[in-house]
Every structure is written in structure tokens, then in C-alpha cells.
Amino acid sequence: MIEILKETARYLVCVKPIGIAAQGTQQEAMPQLLSAQLGCGIFPVHRLDQTVGGVMVYAKTAQEAARLTQAMGQGQMQKTYLAVLTGCPAERAGTLEDLLFHDRAKNKTYVVRRQRGGVKQARLHYEILAEQDGLSLARIQLETGRTHQIRVHMQSIGHPLLGDPLYSRCGRCTCALWSYRLSFPDGKGEAAFEAQPPARFPWTVFF
């Protein structure tokens, strides 16, 4: 059963388990699992890597999907993540801004130095919350939602996410990234939702 944080006639907020695709038509993807569990149509609004879990919102109507997509495009949907990094950045808080290129054939994103076809501006803010055993816990807020953005941004400063199969050689766990908080306008103000990461390594180092 998928954990549901809130369900209305227009949308639902849930906790996506690690290892399940956020989108797609396969039977084991989130839209089909939610549809079978709740008995209604499900419309994806935003992405989350399959290796990453945490808070997501799905629309229950096409109209609501369009509204939420518009809100996201206007920067009204705020996404906050927790990540466990290898080592600790010298600057314990900062803003990372780079040009990113996603190679679809390799399913990998790269930091590049000049603008060209397929290159997109990416920006995020991070803050180190704790440091323990050669690892650090970071809170990250996205301004843009590029493919693998957090993963490649942190790798680019020499502190990749623990367990990241594409951008790190530290394979002690699955990718240590969690969608911790999500907020968006719901017509009555701002709706905000949070979910703690699972009680297993490496999160148990800090929680």
C-alpha cells in the first residue's frame, strides 16, 4: 500500500517508495499502483528518480494536472530534499548554479561550460545540517528541476550522494536522496507536506 498523506477530489499527496517508477504505463509504476489502490484516474505532475523516495503530488483530473503543472512552471511548487553526502563541503551553506546537459543515450547529466543545444540552466540551494562518520546531511531546495540535478550538482563540488550508482563510487546503500517536503497552492492557500526518510542506513546515522 502506498502511504497517502492527503487525498481530495482534485489531487492526492503520497510517499513514493524507493525503487518504484514515478511515471510510466507499466503495472508496477506509481500511477497504476495508485489507481488500483484508490479506484480513480491518476495524472503525473512532476518527476522523481526511481531510486529516490519521498513526497509527491498526483492529480486526479486532467484540469488539476494542468493547474499544478502551471504552478510548478511559475515557481509556486517548492521542493525540499534531504541528501547524505560523502564528506562535507567547505561551505556549509550555499547556492550552486551551473549549465547542465542531459545525455539521453547514457541517461547521465553533465556540467558544461557553454550554452548549446540541450543545455539548461540549473540552480539549487543547500545547507549542511549535520556531519558524522565522514558523511554529511544536507537540506536542498531546488529552483529548477533538471534531470539528476541534485546528484550531478553535488558530484561537481566533490561531494556526491552516498550510494548514487551514476555519480558516486560509494555503493554502501541505495541513492541517499529523499523528497522531504513539498508545498504548492491548492486554491485555499499553500498546502505543505513532509515525510521523514526510512529508518535504515544511511538515514539512521542522522535520525
Between the alpha carbon of residue 40 and those of residues 7, 59, 165, the distances in Å are 11, 10, 35
At 67, phi and psi to the nearest 5?
A: -65, -45
Q: Is 49 a catalytic residue?
A: yes
The active-site residue out of 49, 98, 164, 186 is 49
Q: Are 54 and 15 in contact (CB under 8 A)?
A: yes
What type of residue is 1? M
Grid coordinates belonging to 35: 489507481
Integer Cα distance of 31 and 42 in angstroms: 5
Place of cell 529516490: 52
Element (H, E) at 93: strand 93-103
- Residues noted as catalytic: 49
